[in-house]
Amino acid sequence: MSKLWQKSSTDTESEIAKKVEAFTVGNDYRLDQALVPFDLKASAVHARALHKAGVLSDDETKKLTETLSEIERVWKKGEFNISVQDEDMHTAIENYLTEKLGDLGKKIHTGRSRNDQVLTAIRLFENDALQRILPELNALSDQLVEFGKTHKHIPMPGFTHTRKAMLSSVALWAGGFAELLRMQHHASSGVEALIGRSPLGTAAGFGTSIDIDRDAEAAELCFSQPMICSTSAQLSRGWVELQFVQYLSGISAVLNRLASDIIQYTGETTPYFSLDDVVCTGSSIMPQKKNPDLAELIRGRHSLFMGYAATLQSATTNLTSGYHRDLQLTKEPVLKAVTDIEACIEAAQILISSLNVNEKEITEACTVELFAAEEAYKLVKEKNISFREAYRIVAENPENAEASDPGQKLTESTHLGSTGNPGLERV
């Protein structure tokens, strides 16, 4: 089967030609399986745009769109094959259309390029992924809020520099992560605006002489608008993807710190929480081990997101305008980032559902030094001295800080965001 760019004289059989093919195709023919339904959707819209432009008849448009729907049914069964000889889904789809419809199948490529094809499919994929990810992000945030509410009466040491600092609470701890996830959700509007512009109809980056109604194409594909300059489409490839992956990396950064805390606070030295056995593993040599592997892998996967972003940033550095084959390498980091963030969010949901508070141990850990700052505030109020003077007095004799009931102390802090009023309802 021929490639979309292939001339009749192209050598495809020599050993060198096959090695070049393997190198240039890479694993795109495998990666594209995830993008097939989006390319089919865009192809159907393009067929209708060609009909509107007078390129396709009613009957031709009907046959093409029906066959595109047939391909989707085959794909859903797992039976649509993309071979290394096809290079990518675009060629595989057009070859299917041509085998089924003859020369009519070749008309689908009128007025477009693989450049705007793949860009449109990727942007549709990104938007679809985001609409799946955001509800799960909210669900995880809700889960943390509920965890905090359930244990709102339980005090907890607060740490700075990994040393005990001030009194905190389980509710305040959980609420902090919940709020960050909410903030990340709210930030999605920025990346949605970037991926929400349609590249379809920009062809190779310079438009075509076919009078395509790009506004209608964009609306039918649920984009907010088309990318106006055809040149901006190719300039955006990799640039938009970098910001999309960086957005997902923002989620993984929060999960990384959440997992790090859970690892720390379920250990022997700070046994504030415990994990159900289902999210832990044992050791092949040490019978007593109960390892927080799920949390460790959530923590570790953040490094992958940093790598995906670095790949995208590096691949697009120093490229002049227009298409370059380097941009082919921007597809894989996006697909992997989506797969990984969905897995990480689900793993974090499982982790929180398996997290238990060791109330006795966590309360006993709220030792006298946590109340040193409160002792200074007490001196300010009782002796009418400056905080700096009170700070010095307590610092010279920290052991004199009055031991307090940690649970009672929670009720004394009432301002928004304090240990006694973490504001979970507002989160």
What is the C-alpha to C-alpha distance for residues 127 and 38, in angstroms, rounded to an integer?
11
Tokens of 273: 């929480």
Give whole-number Cα distances, 308 to 13, 127, 145, 189, 338, in Å: 35, 18, 31, 21, 11
End-to-end CA gap in the chain: 57
Write down the catalytic residue from 57, 69, 283, 321. 283
- C-alpha closest to that of 233 among 213, 209, 207: 207
- C-alpha closest to that of 200 among 189, 213, 191, 187: 213
Q: Kindly provide the b/e burial profile for residues 261-270, where b requires at least 16 CB atoms within 10 angstroms of the residue's own CB.
A: bbbbbbeeeb
Give whole-number Cα distances, 273 to 17, 170, 176, 356, in Å: 60, 10, 17, 5
Which region holds residue 393: left if phi is over 0, alpha if psi is between -120 and 50, else beta? Answer: alpha
Write down the catalytic residue from 161, 209, 284, 415. 161
What is the C-alpha to C-alpha distance for residues 95 and 73, in angstroms, rounded to an integer?
16
**161: annotated active-site residue:** yes
- Active-site residues, by number, are 161, 283
